[in-house]
Structures are given as C-alpha cells and as structure tokens.
Chain A
C-alpha cells in the first residue's frame, strides 16, 4: 500500500516548514527511523524521520520549498510494488460532499456561541435587576422605569426631551443617543426606528485587489436575498435529530441496492423525502404570502439548493409528496448534474413552494438559510456529528446527531406552526420507515 508522506508538525507552534533538503532520493530504500529530509521550522532545522519502510517512489516538493503542515511531500511504496498501482493512503482526504449545498449566507448569530454554562451552573433565581433581555426583543416600559443609556439621559436633560414618552431603538428597547437626538430635532420616527446608518468609509484600494463584475446569476442572488432578508420577518427554529436510525436504514438500503446493482441513496435524499411528507402534513408551511392573502399550495414543489460555479440554483422536484424515495433520489441527481453543467431549463428551477439547503457535506453543523421568496419556509441541514449523548438509562453513550434548522416567514407561519412542521420532520427522520409508508 503506498503511503503519502506529508509535511510533519515538528513543534507546538509550527504552521509551515521549508524542505531544506532531501536526504533520500527517488528509488532509495527506506527503513523505519531513517532520516528522509531536513525540514526548517519556525524554530530550527530538524530531521524528518520515516515511520514506515519501503521505497521512495515520488518526491513532490523540491529542496528549499516552503509548505504547510499536512501538504504532500513524497510517496513511499512497498518493495516490488509498482508506483500508482494502488491509491495512496491519503490521511487528509475529506468524505465526499453528500448533497447539493447552498451558497446562501448564514445570518449573523445574535448571541455568543453557547457554552452550556447554564447547565453547569446551579439554577438560581434571577434577580430582576440582573435580567438582561435578549438583544432585539422590545420590552415595554414597566412602571416608571425608563430604560435609557447614560448618554441618552444626559442629552435628554440638556435638550429638555421627555424620555418617558419615547420608544428606544437600542438593544432591549434601550433609548440611545440617536433616539434623543431625533426627538430633539422634532423628527418624527416610527417605533423602534433604527439609528442612522453610519456613512461607509471608502476602503483604500490596493494594487492587487481584484474587481469581479457581477454575473447575471450573482445579480439575481443579490437582489432576491436582499429583498428576502430585509422585507420578510424571519424567525428561526432548530432541532437536534437522533440520526442513528437514519444512518442505519440508509446503510441497509444501500447494501441491498448494491447487491441488486441499483443506485445508492444519500442522507440528503431522505431529508428531501421527509420534507415533502412533512410539508404535505403541515400544509401551512407549504405556503406563500401574497399581500392581501396567503396561498396554501396543494402540491409540494420541493426546491433544493445546489451550489454551482457562479453561485446557486434551486431546481424543483414537482409534486414531491407523491414521489418515492428512489424517484426523488434519481430526480435530484439528474437535476443537480444538469445544474452544474448549466443545462437546466427555467421551468426546472422556478415555482418551488419550499426549499431545502444542505451544508452537511461541508461539515457545517448548524445554520439558518435565508428564505427563498415568495416561499414561507426554508429547511437548513447540517452534518451528522458523532458525539456523546445521554440514553434513556441516563448513561453517556456515543451517538449520531443532526441539526435541522428552519427559517420561517412570520407573516405566514407562526411559531407554533413552525414547531409543528419541524416536529413532523424530526419524527420522520428519527423513524425513517415512517416516510416510506
């Protein structure tokens, strides 16, 4: 079995190394412990030893070249083995992306990464003056207490503005400087108006900056997603799924399919199928806002985000609720392939009623996609992560988990409906045979 030799990590602070010189040449026999080359790290020149025996068959990096840790340096093959006879053991390879990813940008998270601190800390009654409302939520004034920043109070006192009649635009509804200044100038502002946007400062261009003209697709993405994020009141729900039954069933199906010479199914195929079924069971999630009314669609026209060279397209599986897992699997494979080779017809990527975006193939654990207008719901799918979980007996055991998020248009879908849809999705994915009947 050929073995790839990579730039080793030779110290606690090393990120890259210079291959000063090769001691062994192509064709040389190598024993465990032999010095292969000299490598210069951030600290000193050190010897790189062989961990395996064999014959040095290829060298990819010349003397004096600087390379990052983990980059391939050479290939070692067994004695008598022909170079390239077997694929090299590549320790750095990633599993192939399982599904069509979406390039939709993740909205900024409005909290710190969760540290589960609350879980580790003993529960304690929250004193009222310590309670900090989550950012963005607006709290009404309670009693006579007006929430205003020290600066806003000072400015209000100076200009004679009455704070008790104002609605703050700061985090937690706090009255901030901008609110007082606006009030002082008599500018009429709506509730919770935003402070004036600061003027963007021009970035001084550098010679090697690149200007990339917008392609047609990029312009469409830009305008549609800007419209979505700024006009649709998004809210987000997420749920952690026990993915073990899914992984198991998929393996069984694929083993059987392989034996029968049929195509394999991906995790994403199951998610598409489950979304189609869940959307038909909770029809309010398969809907759109149309000014004076809400349209509830009879069919689930299931869009699936596919990353292509220029950006992103969302081909649609028609009446997906009526299709079997293998039909969905076959259709999305065909659509994704043609999307990448730019051979989709417009009718094949228009008219979706709900969208799935899957970044699991990129190792993303969780995210929330921007809604694909005029639809009301988009499903965001993360990667399956192995981690310790608590089983029913209260023991910590290895488990497999998948985080599904949904972004909803609050004008169409309320929290309870979103939760119902997500719950349906969870039920199906945790007991996947349910989606097959």
Chain B
C-alpha cells in the first residue's frame, strides 16, 4: 500500500468525488488559483477549472451561507475554511441555517454540505486562530462532526461526508497534514459513527479523536514498555454520530477509561463521554473515568508554553498511572 500524506489523502477524496458527481463544487478562500492556503486543493483548479473550484473573498458568513443555500437546491458544496476558527464569523449561517433548516421545515429541506478545514492548536497562531469547535458544533442537533486522525481515515471519511445528505463538519489538523500513512489506491468509504480500535489492550481504554489519537498511541507504546500497562486506543473518528457501542465494549473489557482531547475541558467531548460511560457501564468501572484536555485557557502564543498547554504522551501516562 502506498504511503501518502493526510493532505494528499484529502485531495484524492475531493478529486474522486468531483469526478463522480457533477454537483460537487469546492469553494473557499484561496482554494483555486492559489492551490489552497494549506495546499489541500493543489492542482485541482488546473485539472477541473473555474466551475468546480471557486476562490471566494474573505467573507465567511457570506460564502458559507451561499454554500448552504446552494445545497438546499441540490448542489454538494465542499466549503473550505482556512481555519475552523474563522467559522466564528459565520455561526449564524452554520448553526441556524445549516443546523436547523431541515427541522424547521418539517423535513422538507436538506443541506448536503461539507464544511472542512483545520481546527487545532499547537502552531502558535494565537488564541483567535486555534479554536477546536467540535464540542460547540456537536452540541447542535442537525450537524454532524467528523475528526480524522490518519490519512486513511481522512480519505474514507471525507468521501462519505460529501455523499452524506446532512451538513457534515470535517475538522482536520495542520500538524497532521504532512504526516504519512498507508492508504490503498482503490476506492473505499468509512461510515460516519464507527469508531476504530487503533491499538488493542487489556488494562485501560484511551478514547480520543483527531491528533489526540496519535498522542495516545505514543503514550500506549511507552506505557507498555515502561509500566507493563496495556492500553487500548479507540479513535472516535466521528463525534456526532458517536460510536457509543465501541466505547462501552472496550470499557467492559478493560474496566478503566481515560478520554483524551485537544478540546477544552468544560463541556467538552471528554465530559460527554465520561458521563455516558458512568451512566451505561457504572458497574463495569474499576476506577473513575479520567479526562485529559488542553489546559483551560485561550491558546497561548509562546511556542514552548503552547506545547505544554496541549496533552502530550507524558501527561497521558501520568494520568493513566493515577487511574491504574
């Protein structure tokens, strides 16, 4: 299987879907002639032309709203946000329009749109550019939220998101764009709502999404080598729909759980999962469910400090040693 980057995997998914469905159109800042601010759409404008790849002005509320309107009429727009942080200018469009219009119309309208882009800290771009809104958007019934951690998942989930008939928010990570994984050349889809056991283990379940999965895998390796603790790592892959069965099945095996996220702790993804586990698997627990999130403050700029603000393998290990 060829090794390709997360970036190339996304591009392949976009390219395959543009060719498969004439209603797929890509819009966003610098996506066409500039080849994408983070080069996800590199070469696509040259190959598919002005109709399929459209550069928009810096008007997030305007162009996201335009994409939502176009989706109501049956297009399948894939909207790029240079950063998910810029969606905060367009929350009315995303939450009120994309999120609620089907419900309010009694099911008459549908919004088959994909909004995608990076949502991460860790690159010292300051608080305004480092938001991780998976919990905010996951909190809106009507929206789906997907957070791929590997190139393989990025490709399969992106293709599924484009074919999905509801609005799907795909949250990527600039620190993963250049990372390589094995990805088959043949076409495949990964259904939304199916978690993936990235590493099997017996002593504790580490539950994560996005780049935190990679952090957990590193921690799991060290836990085994240095502490003889065998951690199972579950990659949620999609936040909503959420694969509760996979989490519960693992916790019934290991009896301990730690949820790791780059999100902030208050009402974050980890809180949701911790609450769910104690509700549905209380008698299976041999220890309280642990949570590890980013340190609870806006993203600090100072590069060495921001590194400490996000969960790293050592913090995961420390937390596991408190639980096990």
Direct contact of A and B (CB under 8 A): yes
Interface residues, chain A, with chain B CB atoms under 8 Å away = 12-13, 15, 42-44, 108-113, 115, 135, 149-154, 170-171, 174, 176-177, 197-198, 200-201, 203
Q: Given A108-B227, A112-B315, A198-B230, does the pair A135, B321 have CB atoms closer than 8 Å?
A: yes
Please, what's the 1-or-0 string for B286-302, where 1 marks a CB less than 8 Å from any CB in chain A? 11000000010000000
Q: Given A198-B202, A201-B230, does the pair A174, B287 have CB atoms closer than 8 Å?
A: yes
Whether the Cβ atoms of A112 and B123 lie closer than 8 Å is no
Within the assembled complex, what's the spacing in Å between the Cα atoms of A424 and B282?
51
Within the assembled complex, what's the spacing in Å between the Cα atoms of A133 and B125?
38
Whether the Cβ atoms of A176 and B287 lie closer than 8 Å is yes
Within the assembled complex, what's the spacing in Å between the Cα atoms of A15 and B176?
12
- A12-B124, A13-B177 are known; give 10 further A-B pairs, CB within 8 A: A12-B125, A13-B38, A13-B174, A110-B321, A110-B322, A113-B315, A150-B282, A170-B286, A177-B255, A177-B286
Within the assembled complex, what's the spacing in Å between the Cα atoms of A170 and B321?
11
Whether the Cβ atoms of A12 and B123 lie closer than 8 Å is yes
Whether the Cβ atoms of B255 and A197 lie closer than 8 Å is no
Q: Given A198-B202, A200-B228, does the pair A150, B295 have CB atoms closer than 8 Å?
A: no
Interface residues, chain B, with chain A CB atoms under 8 Å away = 35, 38-39, 123-125, 174-175, 177-178, 202-203, 224, 226-230, 255, 282-287, 295, 308, 315, 317-319, 321-323
Whether the Cβ atoms of B286 and A13 lie closer than 8 Å is no
Q: Given A12-B124, A154-B283, does the pair A197, B227 have CB atoms closer than 8 Å?
A: no
23 A-B residue contacts at CB 8 Å? A12-B124, A13-B177, A108-B226, A108-B227, A108-B318, A108-B321, A109-B318, A110-B321, A110-B322, A112-B315, A112-B318, A113-B318, A135-B321, A150-B283, A151-B283, A153-B283, A171-B323, A176-B287, A198-B228, A198-B229, A198-B230, A200-B228, A201-B230
Within the assembled complex, what's the spacing in Å between the Cα atoms of A277 and B229?
43
B61 to chain A, nearest CB (A): 25
Whether the Cβ atoms of A149 and B287 lie closer than 8 Å is yes
Q: Given A12-B123, A13-B178, does the pair A113, B308 have CB atoms closer than 8 Å?
A: yes
Whether the Cβ atoms of B319 and A112 lie closer than 8 Å is yes
Shortest 6 CB-CB contacts between residues of A and residues of B: A154-B283, A42-B178, A149-B286, A151-B286, A12-B123, A150-B285
Within the assembled complex, what's the spacing in Å between the Cα atoms of A109 and B321?
9
Within the assembled complex, what's the spacing in Å between the Cα atoms of A205 and B191?
34
Q: Which residues of chain B have C-beta atoms less than 8 A from A113's C-beta?
A: 308, 315, 318
Closest-by-CB residue of A relative to B200 is A201
Which among A43, A111, A149, A200 is the interface contact of B39 at CB below 8 angstroms? Answer: A43
Closest-by-CB residue of B relative to A15 is B178
Whether the Cβ atoms of A198 and B203 lie closer than 8 Å is yes
Within the assembled complex, what's the spacing in Å between the Cα atoms of A151 and B178?
43
Within the assembled complex, what's the spacing in Å between the Cα atoms of A109 and B316?
12
Within the assembled complex, what's the spacing in Å between the Cα atoms of A261 and B273?
68
Which among B175, B227, B228, B284 is the interface contact of A150 at CB below 8 angstroms? Answer: B284
Within the assembled complex, what's the spacing in Å between the Cα atoms of A379 and B315?
25
Closest-by-CB residue of A relative to B7 is A42
Whether the Cβ atoms of A12 and B203 lie closer than 8 Å is no
Within the assembled complex, what's the spacing in Å between the Cα atoms of A153 and B39?
55
Q: Given A12-B123, A43-B39, does the pair A151, B308 have CB atoms closer than 8 Å?
A: no
Whether the Cβ atoms of B318 and A171 lie closer than 8 Å is no
A68 to chain B, nearest CB (A): 13
Within the assembled complex, what's the spacing in Å between the Cα atoms of A44 and B124?
20
Q: Which residues of chain A have C-beta atoms less than 8 A from B39's C-beta?
A: 42-44
B22 to chain A, nearest CB (A): 30
Q: Given A12-B174, A177-B255, A201-B230, does the pair A151, B318 have CB atoms closer than 8 Å?
A: no
Which among A13, A176, A201, A203 is the interface contact of B175 at CB below 8 angstroms? Answer: A13
Q: Which residues of chain A have C-beta atoms less than 8 A from B125's C-beta?
A: 12
Q: Which residues of chain B have C-beta atoms less than 8 A from A197's C-beta?
A: 228
Within the assembled complex, what's the spacing in Å between the Cα atoms of A42 and B179?
10
Within the assembled complex, what's the spacing in Å between the Cα atoms of A176 and B230?
18
Whether the Cβ atoms of A43 and B282 lie closer than 8 Å is no
Within the assembled complex, what's the spacing in Å between the Cα atoms of A208 and B37?
38
Within the assembled complex, what's the spacing in Å between the Cα atoms of A44 and B38?
10
Within the assembled complex, what's the spacing in Å between the Cα atoms of A421 and B319?
32
Q: Which residues of chain A have C-beta atoms less than 8 A from B319's C-beta?
A: 112
Whether the Cβ atoms of B227 and A135 lie closer than 8 Å is no
A151 to chain B, nearest CB (A): 5
Whether the Cβ atoms of A151 and B177 lie closer than 8 Å is no
Q: Which residues of chain A have C-beta atoms less than 8 A from B35's C-beta?
A: 44
Within the assembled complex, what's the spacing in Å between the Cα atoms of A201 and B323?
21
